[in-house]
Amino acid sequence: MQAGERNGLICLSSGIESVVQSTLDKVNKRLSVEEVECKLKLMRDYDILALVSFIVGFPWDTAEDY
């Protein structure tokens, strides 16, 4: 992140897809909610804007998921 900061990195975009671990597992995202939280914190620490996208409406989604 330091190299990015030195070179003017101000924003990163990523498809997170879901904040529900079971959904991430079902769609083979190969990351954990904990990892996402850690990386977002790191980006905040370096004042890098995070643009993330989510998929809304998986067949197994519930109201509680949102």
Length of the chain: 66
Query: Whole-model pTM?
Result: 0.77
Contact yes or no for 7/49 (Cβ under 8 A): no
Residue 11: CB partners within 8 Å, gap ≥ 6?
A: 48, 49, 50, 51
pLDDT at 59: 93
Domain definitions of the chain by residue range? 2-56
pLDDT at 22: 94
d(CA 29, CA 38): 16
Query: How does pLDDT run across 36-45, given as a tens digit for each residue?
Result: 999 999 999 9
What would the two tokens of residue 21 be? Answer: 């671990």
Span 8-17, average pLDDT: 93
pLDDT at 1: 61
Is 90 exceeded by the pLDDT of residue 3? no
Contact yes or no for 60/16 (Cβ under 8 A): no
d(CA 16, CA 4): 21
Span 57-63, average pLDDT: 91
